[in-house]
């Protein structure tokens, strides 16, 4: 399948005009308003519901339908939760306590080790039937994928290696989001050690497109129309951007987070487990520095994430970027601020200009 035919096939299946997808950002950054704006502009908007309760997911899907009549994507974490562990929590409580003191918060309290909510969350998706469902951190069961298919929900899985892409194809997904090492936020690795999944996007695209017959969506560090055109030339059927949309006014990211993205003059991102317990890429800041060398004390996902949430929320409310998880891809230095619809128009114009220059 050529890149052009792959793009046409995916656009037809998704019911969208342009091969630009919004990354489904769980947490404050992703909002129904941002997702709807991207969908209304002819792309595929997305909302990450991984931290939401089933009733919140259902309500958000219904809200999305009031904001746009166009297709949109709902994303969940299909795994990644840890079971019982033997890590002494006190060193991490002490570390987070220092951040709490700096922010004027009371000492932190150890949250319980949460159980994986995926089954209940997915049930809400099945009942509400969004046009597209995507997942990361794992692989749903064959029965769950079949249930999505019987409801005419298009299914997209995340792969960070060719092996994961092959497993997704065998599982029956409709498309594969190939997450390169350059990507911001959590790594979606599920079939091997995180360290073995740090494959540059260009390499991952080349090798994945050679091994699977499904449309492949490129994600990881893409920021402008030139990046998009390059990914499509490498065989991607579409692209998925997250960091590029975070400074948009429709994004729910705190102002200090948006400003940190816009102030970045070079790539200062690192991979850290400090905020959530799971490897993720973001701009380095004070809390990451505080946790450096103390990785053995980091609690597993998602207990670490729940422990640092009050700190992150307070830091955002106070306009201080020191203790926020500033998730960002390696293209962060090219961040720009404009409404999502304007960014979509700009990306499309840049793509066209790139193609004209090549011609």
pLDDT in tens, 285-330: 999 999 999 999 999 999 999 999 999 999 999 999 999 999 999 9
Rounded Cα distance between 353 and 359, Å, is 10
Rounded Cα distance between 135 and 140, Å, is 8
- Nearest 5°: the CA angle 212, 216, 219 is 135
Percentage of the chain modeled with pLDDT above 90: 94
- Strand 280-283 with 269-272, pairing: antiparallel
Residues in a beta bridge with 235: none
Q: By the 8 A CB rule, do 253 and 29 touch?
A: yes
* Arithmetic mean of pLDDT, 41-63: 98
Rounded Cα distance between 29 and 52, Å, is 14
- Confidence band for 1, pLDDT divided at 50, 70 and 90: very low
Structure confidence at residue 147 (pLDDT): 98
* Arithmetic mean of pLDDT, 132-156: 98
Output the CA–CA distances (angstroms, integers) from residue 178 to 84, 155, 221, 233, in the order listed. 31, 14, 12, 15
Structure confidence at residue 83 (pLDDT): 82
Omega of the bond leading into 302 within 30 degrees of 0 (cis) = yes
Q: By the 8 A CB rule, do 207 and 234 touch?
A: no
Averaged pLDDT of the chain: 96
Q: How far apart are the first and last CA of the chain?
A: 22
Structure confidence at residue 223 (pLDDT): 98
How many Cα atoms sit within 13 Å of 141 on the Cβ side?
6
Residues in a beta bridge with 72: 45
Please state, as a whole number, how many other Cβ atoms lie within 10 Å of the Cβ of residue 217.
26
Rounded Cα distance between 341 and 344, Å, is 5
Rounded Cα distance between 220 and 242, Å, is 9
Structure confidence at residue 2 (pLDDT): 46
| 174 DSSP 8-state letter | S
Alpha helices in 216-263 (DSSP H): 225-233, 255-263
* Arithmetic mean of pLDDT, 325-342: 98
Q: What is the pLDDT of residues 3-22, one digit of tens each?
A: 578 899 999 999 999 999 99
Structure confidence at residue 82 (pLDDT): 87
* Arithmetic mean of pLDDT, 196-212: 97
Residues 6+ positions from 127 with CB-CB distance below 8 Å: 58
Tokens 């399948």 correspond to what residue? 1
Residue 111 has which token pair? 């949250």
User: 245 phi and psi, to 5 degrees?
Assistant: -95, -10
Structure confidence at residue 356 (pLDDT): 58
Q: What is the pLDDT of residues 105-124, one digit of tens each?
A: 999 999 999 999 999 999 99
* Arithmetic mean of pLDDT, 138-160: 98
* Arithmetic mean of pLDDT, 339-350: 98
């Amino acid at each position: 399948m050529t890149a052009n035919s792959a793009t046409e096939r995916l656009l037809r299946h998704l019911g969208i005009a342009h091969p630009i997808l919004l990354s489904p950002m769980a947490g404050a950054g992703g909002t129904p308003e941002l997702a709807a704006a991207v969908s209304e502009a002819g792309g595929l908007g997305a909302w990450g519901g991984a931290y939401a309760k089933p009733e919140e997911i259902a309500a958000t899907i219904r809200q999305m339908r009031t904001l746009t009549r166009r297709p949109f994507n709902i994303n969940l974490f299909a795994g990644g939760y840890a079971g019982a562990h033997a890590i002494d929590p006190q060193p991490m409580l002490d570390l987070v306590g220092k951040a709490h003191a700096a922010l004027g918060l009371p000492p932190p309290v150890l949250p319980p080790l949460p159980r994986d909510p995926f089954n209940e969350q997915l049930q809400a998706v099945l009942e509400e039937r969004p046009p597209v469902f995507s997942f990361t951190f794992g692989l749903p069961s064959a029965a769950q994928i079949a249930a999505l298919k019987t409801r005419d929900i298009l299914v997209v899985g995340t792969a960070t290696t060719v092996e994961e892409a092959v497993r997704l194809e065998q599982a029956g997904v409709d498309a594969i989001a190939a997450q390169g090492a350059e990507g911001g936020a959590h790594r979606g690795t599920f079939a091997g050690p995180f360290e073995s999944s740090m494959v540059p996007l260009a390499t991952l695209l080349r090798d994945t497109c050679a091994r699977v017959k499904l449309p492949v969506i490129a994600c990881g560090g893409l920021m402008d129309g030139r990046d998009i055109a390059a990914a499509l030339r490498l065989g991607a059927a579409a692209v998925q951007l997250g960091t590029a949309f975070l400074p948009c006014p429709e994004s729910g990211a705190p102002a200090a987070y948006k400003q940190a993205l816009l102030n970045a003059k070079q790539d200062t991102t690192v991979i850290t487990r400090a905020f959530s317990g799971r490897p993720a890429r973001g701009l380095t800041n004070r809390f990451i520095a505080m946790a450096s060398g103390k990785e053995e004390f980091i609690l597993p996902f998602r207990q670490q994430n729940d422990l640092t949430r009050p700190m992150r929320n307070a830091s955002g409310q106070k306009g201080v970027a020191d203790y926020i998880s500033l998730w960002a891809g390696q293209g962060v230095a090219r961040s720009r601020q404009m409404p999502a619809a304007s960014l979509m128009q700009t990306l499309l114009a840049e793509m066209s200009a790139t193609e004209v220059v090549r011609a």
